[in-house]
Structure 1
Amino acid sequence: MDTTPLPARTEVAIVGAGPAGLALAVTLAASGIDFVVLDRLAEGANTSRAAVVHARTLEVLDELGASEELIARGIQVTRFAVRDGSRRLLTVPFDKLPTAHPYTLMVPQYETESVLLARLRALGGDVHRPHEVTSVVQDEDGVTLTMSTGQTLRAGYAVGTDGMHSTVREASGIGFTGSAYSESFVLADVVMDWAPGPSEVSLTFGTAGLTVVAPLPGGHYRVVATVDDAPDTPTSPSSSSCWTSAPPARPRSRALPGPHVSGCTTGSPTTTG
């Protein structure tokens, strides 16, 4: 946590220290542009969350000097398979893509943020925590950001990288067009034996619904499955019931403790268009 007092003014205020906010901060730091990164959390989250980094993103991270370390922490997946039960319908290969990174990198989001934060600190920057922005007001000369503590920061520009419920986006009048999924889903990161192994992401249609299994570092797998009614507080039995009938394998598994097991229920928003 950066306890350095907030400056009175900066050129660019970045609200949110996720991958997008940190990547922008690295870009500005490398260019010598004054900025301040604000985040409402006292520390970065330690959950896996978004776990897929595509080739084009890695190409951008090449330019930021952050790709090599991130690749070392992840798993390179070279194919995506779709099955109907145990029958393979198609395989989408990635290893022939015209890029220096012909694969999908599977890596937890906390690792992505850790690598970007380390790169930012190497360039002399950091994240100011915890500072929750509650108001953003623009005038002819710039932007005034007000924190929940009453502190203010004056900036030439404010950039919202603060997620779905972005304070900056709302203040800018930018809508969030979308709708709600009609299905419920359960998501868990588990340790298990899985027949396709760690080089493939598998999407399987089964009698109980849709199941996606994707490898993560350390012998872990991300499992996402449709369920009739996802529990508000998922448990190991409720998670494992989602894939015990999903071919191509009947895995032996155990859910990871603590924050690694998570679930989402009906009403998760998705953008359209």
Structure 2
Amino acid sequence: MSVGGRETGTFYRVLLFVLSAIFVSLCTVVGGALAPSVWPPESWVASAGAVFLIALAFAAGVVIPVLFKEIPPSIERRSLRELVKNAWKEQTFSATTVAALLAVVALIVWFSAPATGLSRLVKDDRVGGMDLTGYCQSYGFRDNTEEACYSPMAMDEVCNWRYEEKGLHFVTSGNRVDGKCFTFTNSLKGGIWDMSDYCLKRFGRRLGVDAVTARNNWECQMKIDKSLACDWFWAKRDLEARKDGADWGCYQ
């Protein structure tokens, strides 16, 4: 095979990879947007479309890698312009299949638009506000700011956890943040280290909790994911949090 043929074959493989990535991404994104957030769904057409598109993306992910090895030499030696020009004549069945798939996708989007408007791709429909305090308390935190959930640490309890004993108490050294742990007979046990590990064990590692000093005390603190807070409050999926002046709103 000529060098030019090998170069053309490489070009076709790169082109196939790029087009495949675009196709699979579009099917996945649009399919996810059409997926119902409540049950029963608002639109059965949109739900069927979501299943079809996601299945199509999965099938493409399985079949397309095989095509990289199956580009025949007769195609590698021909220019892209020639292939496009003769595609309909030589690949009537394949062209018809692709056209049918595109038509099905277009019909799915068209008929589901009244019910969904693909609004989860462009989130302009305001659902309402959110309850950050309730969201934080659902995870066991005592209070919150606009940006984080937090719970002040009971330092005596931290001492007991650190030294795996009971009856220890924390004595500050001039402020509420620095100090050491003592027994009930006032014998020194030592200081406290690795405060973050205490917070992770108390609230769970999956929450991304950390130990910080704030409000003149040690606290276990978790940054608030406001979009997740919207999902929790409205019991819906894939909402978006957005600032409305001084307040936060949830959009779908």
Considering the TM-score relative to the shorter chain, is it more than 0.5?
no
- The higher-RCO structure (CA 8 Å, 6+ apart) is 1
* TM-score normalised by structure 1 residue count: 0.19
TM-score of the superposed pair, with normalisation by structure 2 = 0.20
- Choose between structure 1 and 2: higher strand proportion: 1
The structure that has the greater radius of gyration is 2
More helix by share: 2
